[in-house]
Amino acid sequence: MIMDIKAITRHVRVSPQRTRNVIDLIRGAKAQAALTTLQFTNTKAARIVGKTLKSAIANAKEQEIENLDGLFVKEVFVDGGPIMRRFIARAMGRATRIRKRTSHVTVILSDGSTEVSKAHPREAQAATVENAAVSKDKHKDAHKKDIVRPQAKDSRLKSGAFSKFVRVKDQKKIGMHEKKGM
């Protein structure tokens, strides 16, 4: 029986961008190999993702999954949590906002041979909507003729220094010393 095991860690004080760098290392890997990778990755985000992965493995034991060695990371993604705003004093009585970002880490393990999702579910959904809009625009403009770009250069233009085009009329006015600086 194919079963998905999920673990979520919320309100972690690491920015989502830094955490995404870590989760890209373990996506699609076997659970034990992912733990080893995270163990030797020296970042705060790696420790947090490692704890979440250990929690997912413990959830699998609790649900009495018989093949713990066959578990792999089916999906892993990070969402942004609430942002704590602080202020720091600046010159001339001003203040600058400091945003202390938080993350929600989700790890989904599977024991079967299902497909591995490479993107966050919301990003995949947005991509399908975007592709539908592009194909709709493509069909809408299909009756229009293709834009024909002239192959020959305009006869009034000559290539100047550094591949700039200058009209012949203007080339006569510009001296050689000025043409080099163009």
Classify residue 125: in a domain, yes or no: no
- If asked whether residues 28 and 98 sit together in one domain, one would say yes
Q: What is the pLDDT of residues 100-140, one digit of tens each?
A: 999 999 999 998 754 555 555 566 666 666 666 666 566 65
Classify residue 136: in a domain, yes or no: no
Which structural domain range is residue 158 located in?
154-182
Classify residue 147: in a domain, yes or no: no
Q: What is the number of domains present in the chain?
A: 2
Classify residue 99: in a domain, yes or no: yes
Classify residue 90: in a domain, yes or no: yes
Q: What is the pLDDT of residue 162?
A: 43
Classify residue 137: in a domain, yes or no: no
Q: Is pLDDT larger for residue 117 or for residue 87?
A: 87
**180 to each of 8, 159, 163, 177, how far by Cα in Å?**
64, 13, 12, 6
Q: What is the pLDDT of residue 169?
A: 55
Looking up residue 38, the CATH number of its domain turns out to be 3.90.470.10
Q: Is pLDDT larger for residue 51 or for residue 121?
A: 51
The token duo for 90 is 């600046």
- Count CA atoms closer than 13 A to 58's CA, side-chain side: 8
